[in-house]
Amino acid sequence: MSFKGGEKDHDYKIVRAAGVFEITDLADNKTSKVNATNFDFDYASLLRFDVDGQRRLIQFDETRNEINLHFLMKGSEVEIAVYDEAQFKLKDFMAPPKKVDYAKSVLSPMPGAIVSVSVEPGQIVSEGQELFVIEAMKMQNIIKSQVEGKIKKVNVKAGVSVSVDQLLIEFE
């Protein structure tokens, strides 16, 4: 498991034996024990468990893929990556994920079908102006511009199906 703290990872090894997880910090070889025999999963997101005899509470937020988990503990956001042994050996050779700036983009808020597109490349739009209409579950949703600006590219047309987070419109 790797804990992401800023730009560097902090690595741990986890071994499970009879309901107890031994977590070893690979930097200083300190080991903690997490007792999973009295592990509780409350309200679909709160996790209660014992670490070295002390009761802990974390709020599970989301999984970003099969490896990355995101949760809140003592008011701080924590992201961890859980690897098997083969993945752990190869993780340092993986390219870092690309950070994409979506500030000048409009993504599909839901899967659905585009009913109409109200803008075209080169058009100047104002905040609150209709960009497109998307239909999902027999309901039409008008998507409006959140910013003023000039349309650089429109990646969809009426009648096409789109998936959630698909790039639909780009601003200059």
Helices first, then strands: H and E counts in the chain = 1, 16
Looking at the fold, whether 79 and 6 belong to one and the same domain comes out as: yes
68-to-61, 62, 108 alpha-carbon distances in Å: 11, 9, 23
Structural domain total, the chain: 2
Looking at the fold, whether 145 and 78 belong to one and the same domain comes out as: no
Q: Domain of 83?
A: 2-93
Looking at the fold, whether 143 and 70 belong to one and the same domain comes out as: no
Q: Is 98 domain-assigned?
A: no
Q: Measuring CA to CA, which residue among 3, 61, 7 is closest to residue 32? A: 3
Looking at the fold, whether 114 and 154 belong to one and the same domain comes out as: yes
Q: Is 31 domain-assigned?
A: yes
**pLDDT 10s per residue in the chain (172 long)?**
555 555 566 787 878 777 777 888 888 888 887 776 555 555 556 766 666 677 777 777 766 666 677 777 777 777 777 778 888 888 888 777 677 778 899 999 999 999 999 999 999 999 999 999 999 999 999 999 999 999 999 999 999 999 998 999 999 9
The answer for 90, left when phi > 0, alpha when psi is -120 to 50, beta otherwise, is alpha
Last residue of one domain, picked from the residues 68, 93, 118: 93
Tokens, residue 97: 């994920």
Is the pTM above the cut of 0.75? no
